Structure 1
Amino acid sequence: MDRGYWDNPVTIETLTLGRYRTVSSTAEAARVLLEEWPVDEGEAFVAAKTLCLAVMEGNADPEEARKAFLIAADETDVFVRP
């Protein structure tokens, strides 16, 4: 399994207000999406999950999964630290 490390990690606010988590790989993003995401629906959410799995299977670029993760965060109003 390819963990798909990212060149630029993404720091998001967790479900606990004021707490942040840095996501540095596609595998970690997939876990966050599946286990910690505030919703389990939405076009961007599904696209991000799909891309994360494709990266881990060696069929997509990790940076594409990172972009999809950021779009899913925007769709769900998950705060991304600049």
Structure 2
Amino acid sequence: MDWDATSAYTPVGLALRGQPAHRVVRTLRDAAYMLLKEWPSDDGEEYVTAVKACVDAISGEITQQQFWDAFLRAADEAGIAALTVVQR
């Protein structure tokens, strides 16, 4: 599994509360880092689902798109604004 692949989904910019800068998530690796190191809360149901989905995507048990959907639901639950990044 190439968890640095960028073709599975469109990059997204995340605006974390209390953070002066936004983060752009382009890969499964970026998303895993965000979940484990920079997520504002680790007790939400969608957060737990997204962490499990991340492990499942890395191991190939689910598609990266299925993980991405879980990741965006967790962002919504945490009040993180997610904006699609348009590539030129």
TM-score of the two chains, using structure 1 as the length reference: 0.87
Aligned equivalents of 2:63 and 2:2: distance in 1? 10
Sequence identity percentage? 33
Aligned pairs, number: 81
Contact 1:11/1:23, CA 8 A, preserved across alignment: yes
Answering whether residue 75 of structure 2 is matched by residue 35 of structure 1, we say no
- Superposition RMSD on alpha carbons, in Å? 1.6
Matches within 5 A, 1:1-80: 1-3=1-3, 5=6, 6-14=8-16, 15-17=18-20, 19-80=21-82
Tell me the SS of whatever aligns to 1:50: helix
| Structure with the bigger percentage of strand | 1
* 5+ residue gaps, structure 1: none
What is the one-letter code of the residue matched to 2:19? Answer: T
* 5+ residue gaps, structure 2: none
Bigger-Rg structure (1/2):
2
